[in-house]
Structure 1
């Protein structure tokens, strides 16, 4: 009998589907682990498990709790190392650049004046993003110098976490992008995310439709998965 821990914040549709499948397995004992409402002892885990599936909504909770389980001998999916590589946009971009994988140009700055200079150097339009964040939140398309001054001043006022300025080249896509899904290092499916807005995330209203896995798409997904360390991955193209 394999004991599988399931770390979660709340049960969204995806978590419910995963739990339904796990509960069908006769050789699996499921242990649900909530990521809030209690504390964790770093020298031991609450209940012994063989594997932990990490499904926290919070990036930081997921990483730290995964590290506790991994340090106590539990295999974690995804590993905290992969989560850190994929959860921090700077780290992800640096890995892609180092591995020769095509990715938008990125400039980093750590004060308002340097951030303005970086935006000017990148050219307009460009995109300001938080280094940690998901679901298309707190993104800004910077169209001109006035926008840059306003957005950068606003970000600086949000606190120290937003004073790391990640400035990315704007990619003029045809009203859609691609999200591909990888298991281990093997692409298994892909969707188009279509929106009239420049932000195509489905969490922000983007419409998902099937996208064929072409050899070119599969190749870039494999290379990306290998670069970050594999796992259960969603790759935006």
Structure 2
């Protein structure tokens, strides 16, 4: 058996217990022993060397780590110890900061809606050349949380005065609000795509009550996704696209810890088996 860890924050684990236990069960079928570790049980440190303790017990270096914590420090620590981490620390670092994600992807020629990277401590809002409405997003939000549609300057001022973070992004509203396409990527290969939409909100997230259906990518859309996944190694992510007024893709964000509920709803595929099989193939 090859030993590995599955790392979650406790709150996320409690919401995703089915997926976590399916991962561990499927691991046994692939001769992988996968131990669940919650971040509030985990201590990272160094003395003569880097070390990890779990529940106050120093542990041996795992061969691999499935990092579902969104924490790049955890990923980096295990990588420096020599473990294979899914997703890599680079992907976790980039994809859990929406500003950095856009800088990384847009700098490589991928179009998105117009976006401003804002820090409350130094960005002069009066110098931003924009019209309303605007979408405000926390840089580290996920699942549609901390995303707000603002109709005027007063609404923007009020929201940022009480915003919990100094950093956020502002975006123009796309031509088809309430609809997006999520493309699931496994091992830098397109696994499937789904269309998410809402008839009552500009946010299409399934976890917030949006609808979902299978989506067939056109050849041009496949080429666009292919261009993004050539930038780095993605193990298992969701790449999200908004649609302009003509229905063309506009890059939106990349989910590092991507959920699988929409895949299971739209397709007859064993997502966990595919993911664990991929992990096993990377360890040979």
TM-score range for the pair, normalised by the shorter chain length: 0.7 to 0.9
C-alpha spacing 1:103/1:187, structure 2 compared with 1 (3 Å):
same
2:124 & 2:174 partners in 1: Cα distance? 20
C-alpha spacing 1:140/1:174, structure 2 compared with 1 (3 Å):
closer
Contact kept, 8 Å, 1:116 with 1:152, in 2: the verdict is no
C-alpha spacing 1:16/1:209, structure 2 compared with 1 (3 Å):
farther
C-alpha spacing 1:103/1:227, structure 2 compared with 1 (3 Å):
farther
Shift of 1:97: 1.6
2:122 & 2:132 partners in 1: Cα distance? 17
Q: Given the two structures, how large is their TM-score scaled by the length of structure 2?
A: 0.73
1:49 & 1:113 partners in 2: Cα distance? 43
SS in structure 2 opposite 1:103?
Answer: coil
SS in structure 2 opposite 1:198?
Answer: coil
Corresponding residue of 1:79: 88
C-alpha spacing 1:231/1:69, structure 2 compared with 1 (3 Å):
same
Gaps of 5+ in 2: 53-58, 242-284
1:108 & 1:30 partners in 2: Cα distance? 39
1:174 & 1:116 partners in 2: Cα distance? 24
Matched, 1:123 2:131: yes
Quick one: which of 205, 212, 228 aligns to 1:208?
212
Corresponding residue of 2:261: none
Question: Which is helix-richer, 1 or 2?
Answer: 1
Shift of 1:222: 1.7
SS in structure 1 opposite 2:51?
Answer: coil
Contact kept, 8 Å, 1:115 with 1:165, in 2: the verdict is no
Corresponding residue of 1:3: 3
Q: CA RMSD in A?
A: 2.1
Corresponding residue of 1:176: 179
Spell out the pairing of 1:45-124 with structure 2 (5 A cutoff): 45=52, 46-56=59-69, 59=70, 62-111=71-120, 114=123, 116-117=125-126, 121-124=129-132
Shift of 1:118: 5.3
Shift of 1:77: 0.6
Shift of 1:113: 8.7
Shift of 1:112: 7.5
Aligned residues: 226
Quick one: which of 24, 27, 51 aligns to 1:22?
27
Gaps of 5+ in 1: none
1:17 & 1:172 partners in 2: Cα distance? 39
C-alpha spacing 1:92/1:14, structure 2 compared with 1 (3 Å):
same
Shift of 1:179: 0.7
Shift of 1:116: 3.4
Corresponding residue of 1:235: 239
1:80 & 1:114 partners in 2: Cα distance? 28
Contact kept, 8 Å, 1:6 with 1:55, in 2: the verdict is yes
C-alpha spacing 1:228/1:137, structure 2 compared with 1 (3 Å):
farther
1:22 & 1:135 partners in 2: Cα distance? 27
